[in-house]
Amino acid sequence: WNEREDLWPAAVESARWIKGERPLMFLPWSVEVGMHYYRADLFKAANQKPPETFDDLIAIGLKCFNPFQPEVMDVDGILRAYRGRLSFWGGLSTQRTLPYGSVEDVRRETRHLLEMGREGSFILSPAHAVEGDVPLENMLAFIETAQQQTSLAA
């Protein structure tokens, strides 16, 4: 398989520096769309309302929440409040620290997240997909710092 016609046109166009005016720089290998959705008619038929809070999500059986984004939520406070009832996956800023921070900023934030997650209910990872604006040195700093952790939750 190598037919460009089989690829999603918008994804192919995103691989150009200037739409339609430059040659392709790469072919996208993954296109993701994530969402939480529900059927309002089923909630209405069951005389229920859709989940709106972490407590609501826990009540319907959610075990792990992702993305855990420090840009839009208090990662420390939420983990403290829900530890043991809900696990969180993410935490490392993909909009500030990874792309724009220094290597030491990445190491500092990663060490903080490791310490915060020592008691469990936390899966360390970048908060979201790692984009092409992340310097290799920063990604390596994250990986190396994570590999240096000394223990996991009991």
Q: What is the dihedral of CA 11, 28, 126, 36, to 10 degrees?
A: 40
pTM of the model: 0.70
pLDDT in tens, 105-133: 999 999 999 999 988 899 999 988 888 89
Asked if residues 121 and 79 have their Cβ atoms less than 8 Å apart, the reply is yes
C-alpha span between 138 and 48 (Å, rounded):
45
Residue 8: the pLDDT is 57
The pLDDT, as a whole number, for residue 79 is 95
In this structure, how many other beta carbons lie within 10 angstroms of the beta carbon of residue 138?
A: 21
19-23, 76-80, 115-119, 126-130: the lowest-pLDDT one: 19-23
